């Protein structure tokens, strides 16, 4: 099986209408992923998990308690086909493809315009791993290794780097001077030095204050 050529991107979904079809554990995991983006999520499924019911009670998602209908695709930007019925998933993909809507049919690479990567999240830092659908198991293992390599302290460090960058840009430094300084601040050498200088009880924000 050959891997397709992919363009790695991070989509901005805030305020966009996204559809998840399927209310089981897989649908729940995809809703969880979409919630973090600020997307407007519609869920279509006759039955849903308790966790999804809680999202509905909170008003975080809109639930339509029925089977999928092609009219559900109206105005949708991204659709996730997460049902246990291959025929339904195939219908969703074909109709989405015809309408120019991005579709992911879970665990069915031929019915996907994109894949969900394995992700390491440390605040604003996101490291995404994809095997182009060839081995999700390998992607999960690599994610676990990267989670150990890039610990929670990276969240505070990145937040600090962002504040420093904003401050430097407001001072009107030349691009070259600013880039040189920011490259030094983002170096592994400085990170290790700050780590070694601090006590284990301190947060990274306290260490670099």
Task: Give pLDDT tens digits for 34-49.
Answer: 998 999 999 999 999 9
**Average of per-residue pLDDT values in the chain:** 90
Contact 51, 28 (CB under 8 A): yes
Of 63, 88, 116, the residue at which a domain comes to its end is 116
Amino acid 113: pLDDT: 94
157 and 84 in one domain?
Answer: no
Amino acid 203: pLDDT: 52
Decide if 9 is inside a domain. no
User: Is residue 3 scored above 80 in pLDDT?
Assistant: no
Decide if 132 is inside a domain. no
Of 95, 116, 137, the residue at which a domain comes to its end is 116
pTM of the predicted structure, to 2 decimals: 0.80
96 and 180 in one domain?
Answer: no
Amino acid 201: pLDDT: 44
Amino acid 52: pLDDT: 98
Question: What kind and span of H or E run contains 175?
Answer: helix 175-185
| Nearest-angstrom CA–CA distance, 154 and 138 | 24
171 and 84 in one domain?
Answer: no
Identify which has the larger pLDDT, 114 or 132: 114
Of 59-63, 175-179, 193-197, which gets the smallest average pLDDT?
193-197
- Domain of 27, CATH number, reads 3.40.50.720
HSE-CB for 180 with a 13 A CA cutoff = 5
Give the domain range for residue 61. Answer: 17-116
Decide if 129 is inside a domain. no
In the chain, how many domains are there? 2
The number of residues in the chain equals 209
Identify which has the larger pLDDT, 87 or 136: 87
């Amino acid at each position: 099986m050959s891997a397709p050529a992919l363009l790695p991107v991070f989509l901005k979904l805030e305020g966009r209408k996204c559809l998840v079809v399927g209310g089981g554990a897989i649908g729940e995991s995809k809703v969880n992923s979409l919630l973090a983006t600020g997307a407007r999520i519609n869920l279509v499924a006759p039955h849903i998990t308790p966790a999804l019911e809680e999202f509905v009670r909170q008003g975080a998602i809109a639930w339509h308690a029925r089977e999928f209908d092609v009219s559900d695709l109206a105005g949708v930007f991204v659709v996730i086909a997460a049902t246990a019925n291959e025929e339904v998933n195939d219908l969703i993909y074909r109709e989405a493809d015809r309408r120019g809507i991005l579709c992911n049919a879970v665990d069915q690479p031929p019915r996907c315009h994109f894949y969900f990567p394995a992700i390491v999240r440390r605040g604003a830092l996101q490291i995404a791993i994809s095997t182009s659908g060839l081995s999700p198991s390998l992607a999960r293992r690599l994610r676990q290794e990267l989670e150990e390599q890039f610990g929670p302290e990276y969240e505070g460090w990145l937040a600090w780097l962002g504040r420093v960058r904003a401050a430097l840009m407001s001072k009107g430094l030349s691009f070259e001077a600013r880039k040189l300084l920011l490259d030094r601040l983002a170096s592994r050498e400085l990170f290790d030095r700050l780590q070694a200088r601090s006590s284990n009880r301190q947060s990274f924000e306290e260490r670099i204050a």
